[in-house]
Amino acid sequence: MPDQMQRYLDVARAMPAKRPVGERRRDFGEIYREFRVPAAAKQASRCEQCGIPYCQIHCPLQNNIPDWLRLAAEGRLQEAYETSQATNTFPEVCGRICPHDRLCEGSCVLEQSRHGTVTIGAVEKYLTDTAWKNGWVKPTRPAYERKESVGIIGAGPGGLAAADALRRRGYQVHVYDRYDRIGGLLIYGIPNFKLEKEVVERRAKLLAESGIKFHRNFEVGRDASLNDLRGRHSAVLVATGVYKYRDMQMPGSGLGQIHQAMDYLTASNRKGLGDKVPDFDSGMLDAAGKRVVVIGGGDTAMDCVRTAVRQGAKSVQCLYRRDRANMPGSMTEVGNAEEEGVEFVWLAAPQAFLGNGALTHVRAQRIHLGVADFSGRQTPQPVHGSGFNLEADMVIKALGFDPEDLPQMFGEPALAISEWGTLKIHEPDKMTQVPGVFAAGDIVRGASLVVWAIRDGRDAAEGIHQYIEAQSAAEAGRRPARAVAGAA
C-alpha cells in the first residue's frame, strides 16, 4: 500500500463545517457538524509523522497522536480508536473541549512551518464518536477481581479517570459525589454547545457497567468523615476539584442581578437537563432580554458569554483587564464568541456597579499593561481619568476558582495544604501526608484543564496500586509462615 501520509502540500487544513451563526445562536447544540469518513481520513493524512512528535510531547496524556492519525488515514478506524483510548480515558471529551490550539495543535510542526496544523481534536472526536456508533466501546472486564477497595471523592474527570484505571486492575471502586449526576464540571459547568451531556452520561453509564459503584448526593463531611472512608477502603483518593469562587468587592456589589459564573452556568445546564430551576424560571439567572456584562477572560467567561447569547440576551459584553494576546482563554473560543455577536472590551477593569435600587451600569476604567511581574506577565495599571460606563441589567463574575477548606470540611486536620489552599502531595505517587489518602486534579494543581485532571487521575491510580501492593507485601511478611502457605 502506498504511504498515505505527509499530504500537507496537497491537502489544506480544514475543520468540520460550523453550523450557521444564526442557527447556533438559537440553541445549545454543538456548533461543529460531524466529519465524514473521506474528510477525516484526508485531514489525518496531512500528518508529517515527525521523528520527534511535538504534538504528543505537549499533550498532558502523551497521546500517541501520529500513530492514530496514520491508522485513521488508512481507514483502520477501530485500531485508531483503540490506540487513542489506550492513553486517554475520555477521548470523546478531549476531542471536543481541549484547547488544542494551546497544546497538541499549537505544537504541530506544520503549524510552525505555516502549513496549518493537523486538525487533531476534530479527528479524535470523529474516531471516538464512530467507535460509540459501531459498538467498539465496551465495559471493562478485569482479568481477575481483587478484594481491596478504593474510595474516590469526586466524580469529575480526575476521579473518573482514576476509577477507570483502578477498575481495570480489578479493584472494587466506590465513587462518592455530592451532586446528583456523575461528571462534575463536565455536566454542570461546561455548556452543551461545547460538550453535549449525552456524551458524558453514556461514559458514566459505561463505567457503572464496568462495576464501579457510584454514591450520588454523598457529601464527605456531612454523610461521612474522611476517616470513616479510610476505614471502609484500602486507599482513598481526593479528586474534588475547586469550587470556591473568587470574588471582588466594590461599590454597588449589593445591587441585584450580579452573579457568580458557576451559579449561572449550573442553572443553565440544569435547565437543559430538564430539572426544575426556580432561580432560572423566575428570570434571575436567565439572560433573556438583558444587557449582560461578563467580567473575566478565561474559558469560564467564554462559556458565560456564549450561554447568554443563546438565552436571548439583548447585548453581551466581555470586560477584561488585559488584551487579546494575554487572554487566558482559548483563542478558538474567543473567535466563536465574536462570530456569535459578543463584544470584547479589552484593557478595561470594573470599578463599581451603578443603579438606583437596580443595576443599570458597570463603571469601568481603561488599563495600561506595565512591566512584567515575577510570572512574566505584564502588570495591569489603571489609566487615571479614563472612566466610562457600560449599560448592564446583569453582571456575571467569572474570576476563577480556589479550593475549599478540605481539612475542615472532611474533619481531617492532618491534610496539609499549600499557601494557595491546594492539597500537598508527594510525587510521583500523589499521596498526601495522611497515609493511604491520595489527591489529584485541580485540588492539587489549582483550577486547570480537564486533560490535566485526567492525567493526574491516571497517575494517582498507579500510585494507589503501588501503595496497596506494598501494604499487601508488608502484611504477608508479618504473617506466620503457616498462614502464608495456607493462604497460597
| 3-state secondary structure (DSSP) of residue 340 | coil
Show the DSSP H helices in 156-282 as ranges: 157-168, 185-188, 197-209, 226-232, 261-272, 278-281
- How many beta carbons lie within 10 A of that of residue 153, not counting itself? 28
Evaluate whether 253 touches 353 at the Cβ level (below 8 Å): yes
Task: Name every residue whose Cβ is closer than 8 Å to that of residue 292 and which is 6 or more positions away in sequence.
Answer: 305, 308, 313, 314, 315, 316, 317, 392, 393, 394, 395, 396
Domains and CATH numbers, the chain: 21-133 (1.10.1060.10), 149-243+402-478 (3.50.50.60), 247-399 (3.50.50.60)
Mean per-residue pLDDT for 453-479?
A: 93
Distance CA 315, CA 289 (A): 8
How confident is the model over 149-206, as pLDDT tens digits? 999 999 999 999 999 999 999 999 999 999 999 999 999 999 999 999 999 999 999 9
Q: Please check the confidence at residue 488 and state whether its pLDDT lies above 50.
A: no
Residue 244: what residue type? K
How confident is the model over 208-258, as pLDDT tens digits? 999 999 999 999 999 999 999 999 999 999 999 999 999 998 999 999 899
Residue 439: what residue type? A
Q: Quickly tell me which residue has 483563542 as its cell.
A: 331
pLDDT of residue 481: 52
Measured in whole angstroms, the distance separating CA 146 from the mean position of its chain's CA atoms is 31
How confident is the model over 306-348, as pLDDT tens digits? 999 999 999 999 999 999 988 888 888 999 999 999 999 999 9
pTM for the structure as a whole? 0.93
pLDDT of residue 1: 42
Task: Name every residue whose Cβ is closer than 8 Å to that of residue 173 and which is 6 or more positions away in sequence.
Answer: 149, 150, 152, 163, 166, 167, 211, 212, 213
Here the cell at position 21 is 451563526
pLDDT of residue 374: 77
Distance CA 412, CA 15 (A): 49
| 3-state secondary structure (DSSP) of residue 364 | strand
* 22 CB burial (10 A radius; 0-12, 13-18, 19+): exposed
Measured in whole angstroms, the distance separating CA 250 from the mean position of its chain's CA atoms is 30
Candidates 88, 179, 156, 54; CA nearest to 448 is 156
pLDDT of residue 480: 64
How confident is the model over 246-259, as pLDDT tens digits? 999 899 999 989 99
Q: Please check the confidence at residue 132 and state whether its pLDDT lies above 60.
A: yes
